Amino acid sequence: MPTDDEYEQTRRRFDELEVEQQAQFLIEASASALARGIEQAGKALADGLQDVVRRPHRSSCTSQTSGPGAAEPETAQRQAPKGGRTSDDA
């Protein structure tokens, strides 16, 4: 972090520039700050994705049951026969 003296010296030098040079400086400084921010965000995203990939995979179906899960409705193929008859009995 710059000291107060460094900041004041830089600020005075900026004020001594022509308006066009000040505008160019501000555009370049903004682009540089934006690029650093994007780079940091990309690194944070990459680190987060690596953490997700490295975690052990947890299956949502821990038991091997033949019926539907708690939130899964029975489909026509899984429905229990009514009255003890199956479609093969007809």
Tell me how far CA of residue 27 lies from CA of 1, 33, 34, 68, in angstroms: 21, 10, 10, 60
Contact 17, 25 (CB under 8 A): yes
Per residue in 4-26, pLDDT (tens digit) is 999 999 999 999 999 999 999 99
Token couple for 16:
């001594």
- Name the strand (E) or helix (H) holding 8: helix 4-16
Q: What is the value of pTM for the model shown?
A: 0.49
- The whole-number pLDDT of residue 58 equals 65
**pLDDT for position 79:** 61
Cα-Cα-Cα-Cα dihedral sign, residues 17, 22, 28, 32? positive
